[in-house]
């Protein structure tokens, strides 16, 4: 039986799902990194795949851009398909000084201009936070691999094309590392449902000085993040 947006049978997804925004990236990850990948859904071409990584089942599915799209898929994955661990992978615009293109950012917390968490939380500000059970193995594995990983706060914006010229300086003054469009909503949903979530991002452009990855860099420059994400969801946390 399917949901309105996912035409897969009930057992089609593993308990752990990577969520790239772009369904083509989901296909790339499945084909390149998973053993025996099978496509399990295709409504609106928002492809999802399940396969094996180091012998363990894992799924990867596109989530679209922005909190509303991501939460449609994430909610249906949790409520209908029993998914317990969601790891968003994607890109962010760098805000903090010292971030280089290709650096990794783990969103420990996510600020937002979206109203979704206040709507969920009776008008109060919810502390949108990643799950330590995902953060710990991601940090440990990144250190072991010598990857440049910054762990801290991101800003999940509804407006890719920002409307407030003062926003960047304000974010910098509050220690925000980067801007993306989904993490805060995903963290609110995960808390509401009692499941684990985190967001692991690659700096694809820099909002301070306009540097940006080329399309070719975006193609292969995300492989470190993808492998780290797969290791993170497939490793049991040590605490």
Token code pair at residue 230: 């797969």
Q: Which is nearer to ligand HPA, 6 or 213 (CB)?
A: 213
Q: Which of 205, 209, 223, 224 is catalytic?
A: 205
Angle at 51 between CA 216 and CA 138, to 5 degrees: 65
Contact region for ligand HPA (CB under 6 A) — 22-30, 66-74, 91-99, 108-116? Answer: 91-99
Q: Which residues in 174-203 contact ligand HPA (CB under 6 A)?
A: 179-181
| Residue 91 near ligand HPA by CB under 6 A | yes
Nearer to ligand HPA, 179 or 197 (CB): 179
List 86, 207, 230, 233, residue binding ligand HPA (CB under 6 A): 207
Measured CA distances, 209 to 73, 173, 186 (Å): 34, 17, 29
Q: Is 205 a catalytic residue?
A: yes
CA distance 71 to 160: 17
Selected from 40, 157, 200, 230, the binder of ligand HPA by CB under 6 A is: 157
Question: How near is the Cβ of 203 to ligand HPA at its closest, in Å?
Answer: 8
Facing residues of 35 across strands? 52
**What is the torsion angle, in degrees rounded to the nearest 10, for the CA atoms of residue 172, residue 177, residue 183 and residue 185?**
-10
**Cα–Cα nearest to 64, from 30, 22, 25, 92:** 22
Q: Find the shortest distance in angstroms from Cβ 74 to ligand HPA.
A: 18
- In the structure encoding, which two tokens stand for residue 83, read together? 């998914």
C-beta of 212: minimal distance to ligand HPA in Å?
9
Neighbouring C-alpha atoms within 13 Å toward the C-beta of 167: 19
CB closer to ligand HPA, 218 vs 235: 218
Q: Which stretch binds ligand HPA (CB under 6 A): 85-93, 123-131, 139-147, 213-221?
A: 85-93
CB closer to ligand HPA, 113 vs 223: 113
Residue 216 is inside which H or E element, if any? helix 215-220
Pick the closest to residue 175 from 90, 77, 86, 108 (CA basis). Answer: 108
Active site residues: 205
The footprint of ligand HPA (CB under 6 A) covers: 91-93, 157, 160, 179-181, 204-205, 207
């Amino acid at each position: 039986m399917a949901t309105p947006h996912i035409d897969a049978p009930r057992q089609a997804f593993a308990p752990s799902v990577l969520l790239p925004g772009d369904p083509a990236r989901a296909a790339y990850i499945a084909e390149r990194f998973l053993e025996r990948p099978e496509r399990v859904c295709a409504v609106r071409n928002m492809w999802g795949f399940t396969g094996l990584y180091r012998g363990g089942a894992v799924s990867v599915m596109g989530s679209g851009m922005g909190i509303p799209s991501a939460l449609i898929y994430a909610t249906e994955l949790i409520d209908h398909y029993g998914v317990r661990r969601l790891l968003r992978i994607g890109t962010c615009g760098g805000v903090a000084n010292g971030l280089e293109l290709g650096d990794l950012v783990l969103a420990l917390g996510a600020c937002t201009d979206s109203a979704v968490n206040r709507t969920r939380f009776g008008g109060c500000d919810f502390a949108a936070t990643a799950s330590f059970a995902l953060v710990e193995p991601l940090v440990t594995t990144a250190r072991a691999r010598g990857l440049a990983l910054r762990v801290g706060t991101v800003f999940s914006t509804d407006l890719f094309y920002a409307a407030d010229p003062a926003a960047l300086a304000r974010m910098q003054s509050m220690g925000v590392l980067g801007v993306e469009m989904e993490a805060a909503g995903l963290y609110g949903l995960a808390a509401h449902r009692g499941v684990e979530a985190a967001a692991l991002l690659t700096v694809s452009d820099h909002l301070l000085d306009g540097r940006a990855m080329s399309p070719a860099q975006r193609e292969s420059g995300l492989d470190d993040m993808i492998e780290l994400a797969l290791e993170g969801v497939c490793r049991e946390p040590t605490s």
